[in-house]
Structure 1
């Protein structure tokens, strides 16, 4: 995986901020050998599903409309063209799921850093997420040694706005005034389109600014200043322990995450990986199904390329049983009129039905009844759809004449055709 940018592509002048004399006399924050996975504060987020149909707008405009309900901000890497037009049709899905669709459609890496949706290449996004997480972990370990006013400076959240064609140096000056922290070092002299970050931490702002020039930042021992520095290999992964998870279970769950490394350092088991991979592994240890962990990344990329956020939809899904029944459809969608387009893929009938349910459709069926008729729902099949009605699409998942489908008040009821003796 390419983790450093090609410096030859950075056609940027570098500007120096007030020298490095202060930082040179202060020891840097020392990183602990490892962290507890709980220190990363992975949390379930409640997001209500909604419908978004966005056409004829730029990538930047589309992103802003997508995240406004969540009160998130957007930061598009200066090397990414935010003006090209994109289209998105997201029907009854959460914002995180919609971001995943946009990542797949555009081939970009899209992830969240706290309240900021960051857009870059699939190679850069996990690097930036990891360095941002590391800096905040280091800060948390150091805060207790600082006076109250200095702790508050790094804990406080502010909104940062800038005009069109603003230089990175202007953002730095604004940040220094808002957070009362001296910022030193070299940054690229890129010009940015007008933007606005709402309710953000200084550490996340610094991580995003530094990312465009293969840098991160280090905070002085007093917390009064920080400086940008080049990325180092140990910035690219985080070392954590899962104190409540046995090693054999960790190894089993991490089998599909090839970038994760697990080392037994008795009496501890140390897990090393990027922030997105560690987030995914954490939710696996918590028993979260894959459908509840949204990874925003382009198709055919590895799981580490993009955003992972465990999402709990705002409407209750009820108790699980063999009789699958989703809540009443809030959008009043008509299954006979909704058109489905799906690129050729191989998956299971169950995966398709579950995905349709998560998208807001009300689908009722008995898995046991289908098994009894020799139609296991976990069997892999070839699936493709090109703008066909939803009810016809569902029928196409089964052999001709083998499934009965009824539509009642916006609800699909599926049942197998009983074979005659």
Structure 2
């Protein structure tokens, strides 16, 4: 059932945090990091913060080391004060040890804040007084700290002056966007030209749901082709590593119509449990799903749902799921989602003109902006499509490599016979007539 079966995934690493940040103790660096954490929060990036996530009364170092081990990205911010901090150096040793033991599991990113890699290496020579404090622990410890500092300083990194000409707000935006985009690389393929998709994800304030111990059921609503499925896939890729069980059920309506609800339930159960359990009725399938999910932190995405029966069979209520679970449902019918008790429903908005132009140009010209001689005609296309992603993509593909006269002819035809129905518009220009737009 390719393209018509539910997609689930299991994975070997379950992260508690997206990012662990190691930084110096000086006031200026702390201010920079505070703004960086705020940018992370706005993008739904889960960053470990000692003042929020440390348990009072427990030893500090074991908690910090555990947080490092449970973080996907390990960010080291080098500054003038970094090498003079014993705690920073010990964190750095731990970070490099994690990377050395499991190189494919952890990703290290270095940041050079008002300092160059060469200056970091020279700090080793100028902090002998600091290192002498470790003499009681033996020369081996001192050597490890120096080696870690040298090794990390030579890793490729982000330099404030080189990348942002010293502008901190721009630098923070670049770092947070880079991590956000890397965190969105996951098991589901969602294409290469993801213009505007991550903006839609950011608006949903996902951190509110991923940090919560409560069960949340949220919805994404909008017309055909507006990007609901693509956004849902981006969310799945962004969050899957934080849950015990994950399942992405694509094209629920199509699967049920072709194969029946019992088959869909069986497939989801099998993907989650890796067992071929016998299910003889929809009611029995619902009971099995509830039994395997009620004690787990679950990420369940149900895509393209148009019947209340489907929701009742696959996610009857929040009581089916363990603490911290997130159920996301996409569909066109907002009232259907309301009637099932979906707490937050996000309406997918059309793309802004500049974003729409970039998306259209990527398909029509294979570049982010239209060719000079096609700018006026491209403005007409973007205006006609009113920020609808799929129609921009379909028409861009249709017009690709066509001559100026062919563009004018097609736009003239559209002007004389305007099409308000999105489905009809997609059908006319689609190069793949079998495509089922989401």
| TM-score band w.r.t. shorter chain | under 0.3
Which of the two has greater strand per residue? 1
Which of the two has greater helix per residue? 2
**TM-score normalised according to structure 2 size:** 0.23
